[in-house]
Amino acid sequence: MNLVCIMCPVGCNLKVDKNGKDVVVMGNRCPRGAEYGRNEITCPKRMVTTVVKINNGTVCLKTDKAIKKELVDDCLRFTKTLKLPKKIKAGDIVAKNILGEDVNLVTTEINYN
């Protein structure tokens, strides 16, 4: 599998091969590239960012850690069910341990109309 590493601005072109449990990453210029390649082929993860409407505006949310890529859609569906408190500020945790993944949803910005 060919990938472009996103761990730094260099954007190394990686070639990742998996043979059973062994994963070989080539083309990385640093250890973060090797880790990215291994993770991307064994258990890809993504940060999730979204916007939720509130009565008088919108709230921007993000996960505090990356979640399994296969759970991104479930996470976004979950955000639509949130009942946010009336008084929130940037940095507040509005949901803990979402989807049982030890990942929290955090407010990043509140925009009032």
| Vertex 61: Cα angle to 45 and 48 (nearest 5) | 15
Q: What is the pLDDT of residues 16-58, one digit of tens each?
A: 999 888 999 999 999 999 999 999 999 999 999 999 988 888 9
Q: Is 106 a residue whose pLDDT tops 90? A: yes
pLDDT value of position 112:
84
Any bridge partners for residue 28, and if so which? none
Considering the domain architecture, whether residues 83 and 105 belong to the same structural domain is answered as yes
Total domains present in the chain: 2
Considering the domain architecture, whether residues 69 and 38 belong to the same structural domain is answered as no
Any bridge partners for residue 24, and if so which? 17
Considering the domain architecture, whether residues 100 and 63 belong to the same structural domain is answered as yes
Segments forming the whole domain that contains residue 15: 2-42
* CA dihedral over 83, 87, 90, 95, signed as positive or negative: negative
Considering the domain architecture, whether residues 14 and 62 belong to the same structural domain is answered as no
Q: Is 55 helix (H, G, I), strand (E, B) or coil?
A: coil
Q: Is 107 a residue whose pLDDT tops 90? A: yes
By the 10 Å C-beta count (0-12 exposed, 13-18 middle, 19+ buried), 91 is classed as exposed
Q: What is the pLDDT of residues 68-89, one digit of tens each?
A: 999 999 999 999 999 888 888 9
